[in-house]
Amino acid sequence: MLCKVSLAAWKLFADDLDLHESKQTRFKSLHECFIRELKEGARPIDADPQVMVSPCDAVVGAHGRIENDTLFQAKGFPYEALDLLGDPERVARFRDGTYVTLRLKSTMYHRFHAPYDCAVREVNYISGDTWNVNPIALERVERLFCKNERAVIDLEVSESRPPLTLVPIAAILVASLRLHFLEQNLELRYKGPNRIACDAAFTKGEEMGYFQHGSTIVVLAHKDYQLHEAVAFGDRIRMGQPLLRLP
């Protein structure tokens, strides 16, 4: 009964909460609703082999060229790729590359997927704070993404294609990431090691994990990738829609 009342109140104050695509029709808790799965086929995956698709449902919060190794979380709020990634070798891969910031609202589908056929050999978990990552906070708190708990996930796409990296960033309320290819939850209670070896392969659009609550994914791409012409600041994008393109 309490869950029904809470969901009703949530729908009242968040008019963009849409559960028609949800695989479940009943939820035991709000958390169960947050991490809901979608019905089969609810997110068509763009099949163009030159296209890397969005890994999640999101609002495009920022995008552009990485200026040497500087990105922007909001206008006038730069941050360094090294502070985000914690590894100079990774920074070198994406110098003058492309980045897209994907902000997941609390009402959105919270699972994220492979943007292309890929493999993951290691996850670098970086513990941190749990600042809110809404637009107001991004315009007031410098280097916010570099303060919060996050995971750096390098994607081996293929020998003929340049690299991609996903950085899921946790936020307020529940700072926890669940990656299906790791045994442990990545959360503030996790004690290490920070570099976690793994061997996982994914097809384009296959689910990789989920947030325990709404947050952000920063996508970093080699300079050979271009932002897809359909992507613009402030737009809503769905998982499976074009995000990046190889020329």
Active site residues: 57, 113, 215
Closest Cα to residue 99, out of 118, 72, 133? 72
Residue type, position 242, single letter: P
- Dist. CA 181–CA 75, nearest whole Å: 36
In DSSP notation, 95-138 reads: TT-EEEEEEPPTTS--EEE-SSSEEEEEEEEE--B----SHHHH
Show the tokens assigned to 48.
């163009």
CA-to-CA distance for 243 and 245, rounded, in angstroms?
7
